């Protein structure tokens, strides 16, 4: 399926942000509205999008070009970008062979909303929500079938508001042509024309905040709030949430993420700063500056959580970023344990501490290897939800920081060992369960 986006508007209600740029290029958390919409389309396997431009069209073309992240972009210019959108829509006539997804350039839908809408059957599918005095297009819907559609104030027996997001049949352009010829410029006019010809129009109910429409500065602030929260929540499924995540990790990393989001630092830069924090903390541990080392190690761990959130917030995921995110986790642990073990060995004059540290690193690598083997050979593995709190990296570093501050850094190293050994034992237990179940299934099939 292809898509059609109207991005020709002035965006007068977003002034002064739209003084020198089209409405669709206004940024939400450093990313243009249009880019966020295209990202959602790409995630729904949309390979080609037609963009109707108008006001300040070069700003859009120069930013995106003819191809964006594997998606072909086709531009058509409209000289009409005032009230009524049919004169802009008609510019795309002849460019679609099958059904296409339509949305206005001031919308940011969720990926799931688009996927669910694409699955909805009907000659035309329009998205509807609860009535609001701000909405201009309304409809009467009965059992997900649109009976009537019109402009607010003209259609009196309406029960739903219609959002500028839908799926249309290419024959819709014939109806648009007829409407323009008869001096009708609103979308409901063309849809009514289709309904009179026997085309079935279905309604797709939008969930709360599943479609963000940005018309005003107030809408923009709301969009930034919602998108920021989604960048945090999208990383975790409900079954993955833990006590440490909800009550220790997020309360600290969310405000730090919000702070870093205001800077021009890329996620990769944040990852590298975090890695250098681990190295410096390790050097401080080696020189027995345990308090500063503990604080810096915790700072590195916070940044290790922030970089991924920033990449999701600003759509800056990359292969290098993925590599850094995976690498700095384990590498940071190794660097910290080595520096801490060496520093404590000098402090206590006991070589057993070095053996203790090396054993901790060995447990970490062994558990990681088992985990990768299970994932690559057997896919999903049984989850150990509550015990995961024990080896949660955020808790490990928090304990290390506290023990360093109160003067017992050896206890911090001990907790590293407890956490990683318990992680290893959990992986061994998971392996036993997976192998047993796999063997049982194989035996049953034979």
Look at residue 237 in the predicted model and tell me its pLDDT: 63
Comparing CA positions, the residue from 284, 426, 303 lying closest to residue 364 is 426
Query: pLDDT tens for residues 234-293?
Result: 766 666 667 777 778 888 889 999 999 999 899 999 999 999 999 999 999 999 999 999
Query: pLDDT tens for residues 370-383?
Result: 777 766 666 565 56
Is it the case that residue 135 has pLDDT exceeding 90?
no
Look at residue 321 in the predicted model and tell me its pLDDT: 78
Of 76-90, 96-110, 146-160, minimum mean pLDDT range: 76-90
Look at residue 382 in the predicted model and tell me its pLDDT: 56
Active-site residue identified among 39, 174, 219, 329 = 329
Residue 233, both tokens:
């929540």
Is it the case that residue 3 has pLDDT exceeding 80?
yes
Look at residue 296 in the predicted model and tell me its pLDDT: 96
Residue 207 contacts residue 162 (beta carbons within 8 Å): no
Look at residue 126 in the predicted model and tell me its pLDDT: 92
Give the rounded percent of residues in the chain with a pLDDT score beyond 90.
Answer: 49
Look at residue 231 in the predicted model and tell me its pLDDT: 85
**3-state SS class at 108:** strand
Is it the case that residue 333 has pLDDT exceeding 60?
yes
Cα distance between residue 57 and residue 63, in whole Å: 10
pLDDT, the chain, mean: 87
Residue 106 has, within 13 A of its CA and on its CB side, a CA count of 19
> Which CATH number applies to 238-445?
1.20.120.1760
Name the fold adopted by 2-221.
Answer: Spore Coat Polysaccharide Biosynthesis Protein SpsA; Chain A (3.90.550)
Of 24-33, 82-91, 352-361, minimum mean pLDDT range: 82-91
Look at residue 259 in the predicted model and tell me its pLDDT: 92
Please report, for the chain, the start and end positions of each structural domain, with discontinuous segments joined by +. Answer: 2-221, 238-445
Cα distance between residue 24 and residue 81, in whole Å: 13
- Which residues lie closer than 8 Å to 61 by C-beta, 6 or more apart? 53, 75
How far is CA 347 from each of CA 342, 353, 417, rounded to the nearest angstrom? 9, 10, 19
Is it the case that residue 51 has pLDDT exceeding 60?
yes
Task: Compute the average pLDDT of residues 110-116.
Answer: 93
Residue 157 contacts residue 140 (beta carbons within 8 Å): yes
Q: With bands split at pLDDT 50, 70 and 90, how would you rate the model's confidence at 222?
A: very high
Cα distance between residue 55 and residue 322, in whole Å: 38
Q: With bands split at pLDDT 50, 70 and 90, how would you rate the model's confidence at 24?
A: very high
Give the rounded percent of residues in the chain with a pLDDT score beyond 70.
Answer: 90
Active site residue 329: yes
Of 69-73, 239-243, 354-358, minimum mean pLDDT range: 239-243
- Which residues on neighbouring strands pair with residue 145, listed in sequence order? 142, 202
Comparing CA positions, the residue from 341, 279, 329, 270 lying closest to residue 303 is 270
Look at residue 387 in the predicted model and tell me its pLDDT: 62
Query: pLDDT tens for residues 380-439?
Result: 655 665 566 677 888 899 999 999 999 999 999 999 988 888 888 877 777 777 666 666
Residue 413 contacts residue 337 (beta carbons within 8 Å): yes
Look at residue 394 in the predicted model and tell me its pLDDT: 87
Task: Compute the average pLDDT of residues 18-47.
Answer: 93
Cα distance between residue 25 and residue 11, in whole Å: 10
pTM: 0.84
Domains 2-221 and 238-445 share a fold: no
């Amino acid at each position: 399926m292809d898509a059609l986006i109207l991005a020709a508007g002035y965006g007068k209600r977003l002034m002064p942000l739209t003084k020198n740029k089209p409405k669709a290029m206004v940024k939400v958390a450093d990313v243009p509205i249009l880019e966020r919409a295209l990202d959602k389309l790409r995630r729904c396997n949309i390979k080609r999008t037609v963009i109707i431009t108008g006001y300040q069209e070069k700003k859009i073309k120069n930013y995106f070009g003819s191809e964006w992240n594997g998606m072909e972009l086709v531009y058509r210019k409209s000289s009409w970008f005032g009230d009524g959108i049919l004169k802009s829509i008609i510019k795309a006539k002849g460019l679609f062979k099958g059904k296409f997804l339509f949305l206005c350039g001031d919308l940011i839908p969720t990926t799931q909303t688009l996927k669910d809408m694409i699955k909805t059957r009907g000659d035309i599918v329009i998205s509807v929500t609860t009535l609001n005095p701000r909405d201009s297009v309304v409809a009467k819907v009965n059992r997900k079938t649109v009976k009537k559609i019109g402009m607010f104030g003209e259609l009196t027996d309406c029960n739903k508001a219609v959002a500028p997001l839908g799926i249309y049949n290419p024959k819709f352009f014939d109806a648009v042509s007829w409407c323009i010829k008869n001096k009708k410029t609103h979308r409901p006019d063309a849809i009514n024309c289709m309904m009179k010809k026997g085309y079935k129009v279905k309604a797709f109910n939008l969930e709360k905040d599943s479609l963000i429409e940005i018309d005003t500065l107030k809408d923009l602030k709301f969009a930034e709030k919602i998108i920021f929260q989604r960048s945090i929540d999208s990383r975790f499924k409900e079954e993955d949430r833990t006590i440490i995540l909800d009550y220790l990790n997020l309360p600290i990393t969310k405000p730090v993420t919000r702070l870093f989001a205001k800077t021009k630092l890329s996620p990769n830069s944040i990852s590298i700063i975090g890695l250098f924090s681990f190295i410096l903390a390790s050097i401080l541990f080696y020189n027995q500056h345990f308090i500063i080392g503990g604080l810096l190690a915790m700072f590195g761990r916070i940044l290790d959580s922030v970089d991924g959130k920033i990449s999701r917030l600003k759509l800056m995921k990359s292969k290098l970023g993925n590599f850094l995110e995976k690498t700095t986790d384990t590498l940071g642990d190794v660097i910290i344990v080595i520096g801490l073990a060496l520093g404590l060995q000098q402090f206590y004059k006991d070589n057993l501490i070095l053996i203790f540290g090396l054993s901790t690193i060995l447990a970490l690598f062994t558990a990681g290897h088992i985990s990768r083997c299970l994932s690559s050979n057997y896919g999903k593995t049984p989850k150990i939800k509550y015990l995961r709190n024990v080896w949660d990296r955020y808790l490990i570093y928090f304990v290390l920081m506290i023990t360093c501050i109160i003067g017992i850094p050896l206890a911090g190293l001990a907790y590293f060992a407890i956490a990683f050994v318990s992680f290893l034992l959990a992986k061994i237990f998971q392996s036993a369960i997976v192998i047993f179940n796999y063997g049982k299934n194989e035996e049953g099939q034979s």
